[in-house]
Structure 1
Amino acid sequence: MRFTLPQKVFDAKATGGGQEFGDLPDWDLTDLYPATDAPEVKRDLDWLEEACASFARDYEGKLAELDGAGMYECLLRDERISQVAGRLGSFAGLLYYQNTVDAGRAKFYSDIQDKITTYTAPLVFFSLEVNRIPDEKLEEMLTHEGLARYRPIFERMRKMRPYQLSDELERYEHDMSVVGAAAWNKLFDETIADLKFTVNGETRGIEATTTLMMEQDRSVREAAAREIGRVLGDNVKIFSRVHNTLAKMGQVEDKWRGMPTPQTGRHLANDVEPEVVQALRDAVVAAYPKLSHRYYELKRGWLGLDKLQVWDRNAPLPMEENRVVGWDEARETVLDAYAGFDPKMAEIAQPFFTEGWIDAGVKPGKAPGAFAHPTVTDAHPYVMLNYLGKQRDVMTLAHELGHGVHQVLAADQGELLASTPLTLAETASVFGEMLTFQKLLKSATTDAERKVLLAGKVEDMINTVVRQIAFYDFECKLHEARKGGELTPEDINRIWMSVQGESLGPAFDFMDGYEVYWSYIPHFVHSPFYVYAYAFGDGLVNALYAAYTEQPEGFQEKYFDMLRAGGSKHHTELLKPFGLDASDPKFWDKGLSMISGFIDQLEAME
């Protein structure tokens, strides 16, 4: 089976972090390994090298001869290899994300990547050979009781069968991966982490600077926005080279594999049908006027402006308190919201705070954004934040802990079945946000407080749905345009501005410099076409939450069962107990109607 190093994915709405917000926790990575030079690291690397070599000796060219029991034993060995390699890769990656400009960490990460890629190269035959086993023979194997639960693994492999390369080319691509997309990812990460922005005499990294665009003082927001545009503009040639190269690499691979669209690989990885994603995209674009256009016109009035600028998009409302939310308050808010849904959910989340599973503060060289990394199923997830004491940081904490709870519950599926497709991976995170929002809304004591909370939630949902679908359209247009040749920075800028104007609407003007804002968004680099998963997750959660409020009896256990399933079930099977079907085009309209309903409430408060 082809092995891929564990990858973090930066979340879309993450904000920055770190000053005087209380005792911000750091990761304790010793649950993975005591140190980079610990003997356990060498032990596992040596084991991995031998395990991969012996696996190939025992099985290459022989898979079709196995019976069900033999294939079951083979898969268990493959699963153990994935677990050890995943532990090594996770440890090296998490260390690196803490400080991407530290040469020692960068070297350790690169060396581990290189060794894992080299050692696992003999495994490339596995999925290729499985896909050459006749259907009837594979079905006979799957009658084995132990192997039967791994059916989804084989079904996903079969979906890739039309796009397989020859054995030699698959091995070549595996060997080249460490100097392919992974190398361009690192260049992007290190370039972003090294950028410095000076606003009102103070120099910051990108996360802390983007957070200034949520300050009450409009002049501060403007200064931050213009400085971001200036610095990104000074570096746009590097980012343009990264995007041109990755898009071309994808184009070449798609041609060789015979994939019909640049998005096909992502849809296959997400185990979702292209028509479902297209229905989601079309529903959201059609809803722009009643969602983002309508909301931002309201906000323009609240701020007393003729036109909004980009630095007003996430601005606080005039009546909003400009207060810092301390870490202890953020923790209690989220845990209380989780416990209000089910005490079990808070119990699962508690160790993240007490056992060193969260890294929250801003540090020099730390990767931007936020993520929850599942690591491996015999360890536990880790959450990274950049906490700045904003209300939105609280929602980011709720979001990432939702991922963490999901990953803890899914771990019982084992290494090969725990991983959830990205579309469903966003369900628990967005649900965690919704629980936290509803708790805060119920606690509101004044109309002004309620208005601020509703507006904040609408903005979060617009950022999750409208903004991410605009991002998806940007990527689709960029990859299509790249087929015609090299794209200049100006070409990419034009594509970016076309989707921004369409999605944000007529309430906005756009400053000079905003056209390069595409360049710092990590999703486009790390996980092309990932972004629709946010909109998928938000629409799904809106429908789930409506089902919960309509019939709360027994909902919690069905919800936990869904999370426990990990990647062992298709989205149609997971949603059936709730009476939901994401393949129904009307499903997405239901989810969008919740956002529209919140805007209705805001309009009624005028």
Structure 2
Amino acid sequence: MKHPAIAFREIPAAMAAGAAATDPALGLLPLWKLSDLYPARDSPAFTADTDKAEKLALAFEEKWKGKLADAATKTGAGGIGEALKEYEALDDLLGKLGSYAGLTYFSDTSNPANGKFYGDVQAKLTDLSSHLLFFALELNRIDDKLMDACMDRDPAAGHYRPWVVDLRKDKPFQLEDKLEQLFLEKSMTSAAAFNRLFDETMAELRFEVDGEKLPLEVTLNMLQESEPEVRAKAAAALSKTFGENLRVFTLITNTLAKDKEISDRWRGFKDIADSRHLANRVEREVVDALAEAVKNAYPRLSHRYYAMKAKWLGMEQLNFWDRNAPLPETPTAVIPWTEAKETVLSAYRGFAPEMAKIAGRFFDEEWIDAPVRPGKAPGAFAHPTVPSAHPYVLVNYMGKPRDVMTLAHELGHGVHQVLAGAQGALMCQTPLTLAETASVFGEMLTFRALLEKTRDRRERKAMLAQKVEDMINTVVRQIAFYQFERKVHTARKEGELTSEQIGELWLSVQGESLGPAIRISEGYETWWTYIPHFIHSPFYVYAYAFGDCLVNSLYAVYSQAEPGFQEKYFELLKAGGTKHHSELLKPFGLDAADPSFWSKGLSMIEGLIDELEALDRA
């Protein structure tokens, strides 16, 4: 049983009820209202739902275990359709409990009480899930013809056909019941435990710059400052602290890579990334074609762009900490929260009023947590929770132009999650490859809306440069991350890796992807340590490149004023996990299995670099 798996901290009472933090430059920054899920972790409502979930799980097991083959011969009461409906209701309830615990924990991972609450809830959910594990396994053992006939005959079962068909793709990698139960129960003391160790270690790290000890998010943000010495000091602080904690991150990486290798071996996966491809419902050949296309484009994209940027900044080579430095033309004014909100909603409204209306609810109904604060999870995400509730968005807003784009990105996810929620708990979750579609499209809408308003040549150059950098970070950098993970997991099969070995693998892919215009000096060999995707979702990262290239192709169709584009786009989002990417892209005339598909997406990035070069000559 899958639950929305984003973890989180205890919020003070005012925060839990929904509130706002005031920043002199940014204005009122919203805090999410988790009371929409539960009033508090010790509330009667949370306790009652926990007790209810336990009773329902035990009753479900008693009612259906060992009886699904017989149920497949029935229609209506006692049939598979009834079982699926009850299972979906349980999935929603367990997901709601897990979401609340996770969002609470990630609000402040440094709070021990939050860690205990999250750990206790995860343990409880794992225990309850062990009583439901039989369902998918037993369902997959039903003969294909019998199952098809059941879904044809019984409308209640037929409703869940996409989920059942999807589930049966896991059948070749399914173990016998006792082993599956062991894997599930041991996950709490293996992968989940090391994920939590990573989160709590990262939340506690401090990076000293000019005598001030800063959290990760603030220190990383200094790499976007205009003063070279500020960027250099931030990079030195990051390298120093990463280096001091290298042993624990090396242990985590080795342990999780070995844990995955054991699981893959038992299940019979041939390639180290095949389990991720299966989860994403994407063929290995499609991902290989994407990775190869991006790798071949390194010279035309990142190598070419960074050479141009070095010249703009008056340098022969950029230091690795100058990669995201702003150009002299970049506006330095801090963007207040209200302006960021209107910028994104206006761009969404220009595409489709319904899109802006849904995104507006995140602001109006307090579904966003925006301020930077100690212990809060770094980065940004949109958590879908469950269809009976609503999504939440976390950002760390500091008023940079990139923060506005991040807000547009996460709200794109949020809109997607709201629309897909109508599919129900079992079929609303979109594979990761398509989950990035709405987020990247939201970014693109916001960027294009801002660019159209910009008449000043210097400002236009700064905006284009920042967009190119974001796209390089999304496509080139993420495929380099994917190649790094492949190297680490492959090498781990031969034995435990030292910190130095992991650092060498990191430098090899970074040097290849960034190109000769970036000087990779001492200290950068430890920067693999802070990337959470390597820990939480091995091989997730190619989904960003997949999504960006896909959206570039989608946007090209949109910009050609394709009739009915908005309606077809909303149908894609509403589909959730009910359709394969080939089926969803077909109405737009796109096919991810076609090798030229990726070239089309990459050519848009190349076109923006061409425009920058033309502006530079003007």
TM-score, with structure 1 as normaliser: 0.97
Moved more, 256-265 or 381-390: 256-265
Residue type of the partner of 1:278? Answer: D
Question: What is the aligned counterpart of 2:421 among 395, 402, 411?
Answer: 411
Tell me, yes or no, if structure 1 residue 100 matches structure 2 residue 109: yes
Runs of 4 or more, structure 1, over 3 Å off, are: 17-20
Matched, 1:515 2:525: yes
Per-residue Cα deviation, 1:238-296 (whole angstroms, up to 9, x for no partner): 00000000000000111111111121111111010110000100000000000000100
Give the alignment partner of residue 158 of structure 1, picking from 168, 171, 181.
168
Q: Report deviation, 1:173.
A: 1.0
Q: Which one-letter code corresponds to 1:77 in the other structure?
A: E
Describe how 1:221-236 pairs up with structure 2 within 5 A. Answer: 221-236=231-246
**2:68 touches 2:139 (CA, 8 Å); kept in 1?**
yes
Cα deviation, residue 174, structure 1: 1.2
Alpha-carbon separation, structure 1, partners of 2:420 and 2:140: 27
Looking at structure 2, the residues matched to 307 and 108 of structure 1 have their Cα atoms a distance apart, in angstroms, of: 49
Question: Distance in 2 between the 1:443 and 1:203 partners?
Answer: 40
Q: CA deviation at 1:18?
A: 7.2
Distance in 1 separating the partners of 2:7 and 2:116: 21
Alpha-carbon distance in 2 for matches of 1:116, 1:22: 39
Checking the alignment, whether the CA contact within 8 Å between 2:109 and 2:115 is kept in structure 1 is yes
Give the whole-Å Cα distance in 2 for the aligned partners of 1:250 and 1:463: 27
Aligned counterpart for 1:27 among listed residues 20, 24, 32? 32
Aligned counterpart, 2:4: 6
Deviates more, 1:140-149 or 1:90-99: 140-149
Identity of aligned residues (%): 56
Assess if the C-alpha contact under 8 Å between 1:49 and 1:120 holds in 2.
Answer: no
Determine if contact 1:18/1:388 at 8 Å carries over to the other structure: no
Q: Is the 8 A contact 1:100 1:366 kept in 2?
A: yes
From 53, 57, 66, give the equivalent of 1:52.
Answer: 57
Aligned to 1:284: 294
- Choose which of 75, 92, 110 in structure 1 pairs with 2:84: 75
C-alpha contact 1:9 1:371 (8 A) present in aligned 2: no
SS at 2:35 equivalent:
helix
Match of 2:220 in 1: 210
In the alignment, does 2:442 pair up with 1:437? no
User: Following the alignment from structure 1 to structure 2, what is the Cα–Cα distance between the partners of residues 392 and 309?
Assistant: 21
Q: Specify the alignment match of 1:178 in structure 2.
A: 188
Cα distance in structure 2, aligned partners of 1:43 and 1:228: 45
Residue type matched to 2:88 in 1?
A: E
Distance 1:236 1:20 in 2: 36
Give the deviation of 1:157 after TM superposition. Answer: 1.8
- The C-alpha deviation readout for 1:524-569, integer Å capped at 9, x for no partner, is 0000000000000001100000000112431111111110111111
Matches within 5 A, 1:540-579: 540-579=550-589
How far the C-alpha of 1:226 sits from its partner, in A, is 1.0
Residue 463 of structure 1 and its aligned partner are, at CA, apart by 0.3
Q: Is the 8 A contact 2:25 2:334 kept in 1?
A: no
Q: Given the alignment, which residue of 137, 156, 160 partners 2:146?
A: 137
CA–CA separation in structure 2 for the residues paired with 1:351 and 1:316? 33
Q: Deviations for 1:296-320, whole angstroms, at most 9, x for unmatched residues?
A: 0100100000111111100000122
Asked if structure 2 preserves the Cα contact closer than 8 Å seen for 1:357 and 1:383, the reply is: yes
Tell me how far 1:42 sits from its aligned partner: 1.1
* Mapped partners of 1:241, 1:253: distance in 2: 18
What's the counterpart of residue 366 of structure 2? 356
Q: In structure 1, list runs of 5 or more residues that go unmatched.
A: 11-16
- Check the 8 A contact 2:101/2:117 in 1, yes or no: yes
The DSSP-based 3-state class of the residue aligned with 1:582 is coil
**Residue of structure 1 equivalent to 2:548:** 538
Q: Give CA deviations for 1:566-591 in whole Å, capped at 9, x if unaligned.
A: 11111011111111111111100000
| Per-residue deviation, 1:20 | 3.6
Aligned position for 1:605: 615
**What residue in structure 2 maps to residue 472 of structure 1?**
482
SS of match in other structure, 1:203: strand
1:324 Cα deviation after fit: 0.5
* CA deviation after TM superposition for structure 1 residue 19, in Å: 7.0
1:119 corresponds to which of 105, 109, 128: 128
1:189-231 CA deviation, whole Å, 9 max, x = no partner?
0000000011123221000000000000000001001110010
Contact 1:68 1:140 in 2 (8 A): no
The amino acid of 1:32's aligned partner reads: L
Consecutive unaligned residues in structure 2, runs of 5 or more: 9-21
> CA–CA distance in 2 between the matches of 1:116 and 1:84?
10
Task: Determine the C-alpha separation between the residues in 2 that align with 1:221 and 1:560.
Answer: 42
Q: 1:446-492: CA deviations, max 9, x gaps?
A: 11011011101100000000000000000011000000000000010
Between 1 and 2, higher relative CO (CA 8 Å, sep ≥ 6) is seen in 1
Alignment match of 1:323 (pick from 330, 333, 357):
333
Compute the displacement of 1:149 (Å): 2.9
CA distance in 1, matches of 2:111, 2:505: 35
Whole-angstrom CA distance in 1 between matches of 2:430 and 2:488: 28
What residue identity is the alignment partner of 2:85? Answer: L
Q: How far apart, in 2, do the equivalents of 1:150 and 1:410 lie? A: 15
Residue-by-residue CA offset, 1:26-85 (whole Å, 9 max, x unaligned): 010011000011111111111111111111111111111113531010001000111010
How many residues end up aligned between the 2 structures?
598
Residue of structure 2 equivalent to 1:375: 385
Offset of residue 363 of structure 1: 1.1
Residue aligned with 1:46, SS = helix
Q: CA deviation at 1:4?
A: 3.5
8 Å CA contact 1:27, 1:359 repeated in 2: yes
Provide the rounded CA distance (Å) in 2 between the counterparts of 1:20 and 1:365.
22
Instruction: Determine whether 1:220 maps to 2:220.
Output: no
Contact 1:523–1:530 (CA<8 Å) still a contact in 2?
Answer: yes
d(CA) in 2 for partners of 1:4 and 1:243?
24
Kindly provide the amino acid, as one letter, of the partner of residue 129 in structure 2. Answer: T
Q: Which amino acid aligns with 2:273?
A: Q
Secondary structure of 1:101's counterpart equals coil
- Paired with 2:354 and 2:167, the residues of 1 have a C-alpha distance of 35
**Equivalent position SS for 1:131:** helix
Q: Which digits, 9 at most, give the CA deviation of each residue in 1:77-102, with x for residues without a partner?
A: 00011101000000000000000010
Give me the whole-angstrom Cα distance separating, in 1, the residues matched to 2:603 and 2:7: 28
In the alignment, is the contact (CA less than 8 A) between 2:82 and 2:156 conserved in 1? Answer: no
Change (3 A) 1:510 1:59: same
3-state DSSP of counterpart to 1:291: helix
Deviates most, 520-529 or 138-147? 138-147
Tell me how far apart the structure 2 counterparts of residues 119 and 18 of structure 1 sit (CA, whole Å). 43
Amino acid at match of 2:457: D
Task: Kindly indicate whether residue 93 of structure 2 is the aligned counterpart of residue 84 of structure 1.
Answer: yes
Residues 535 and 68 (structure 1), Cα distance of their counterparts in 2 relative to 1, 3 Å cut = farther
**CA shift for structure 1 position 146:** 2.5
Between the aligned partners of 1:319 and 1:563, the Cα distance in structure 2 is 37
Tell me the distance in 2 between the aligned counterparts of 1:293 and 1:215: 22
What is the one-letter code of the residue matched to 1:221? R
Aligned residue for 1:14? none
**Equivalent residue, structure 1, for 2:11:** none
Are the aligned partners of 2:81 and 2:155 in contact in 1 as well (CA < 8 Å)?
A: no
RMSD: 1.2
- How far 1:6 moved relative to its partner? 1.9
Corresponding residue for 1:421?
A: 431
Structure 2 distance, partners of 1:150, 1:470, is 38
State the distance in 2 between where 1:174 and 1:130 align. Answer: 18
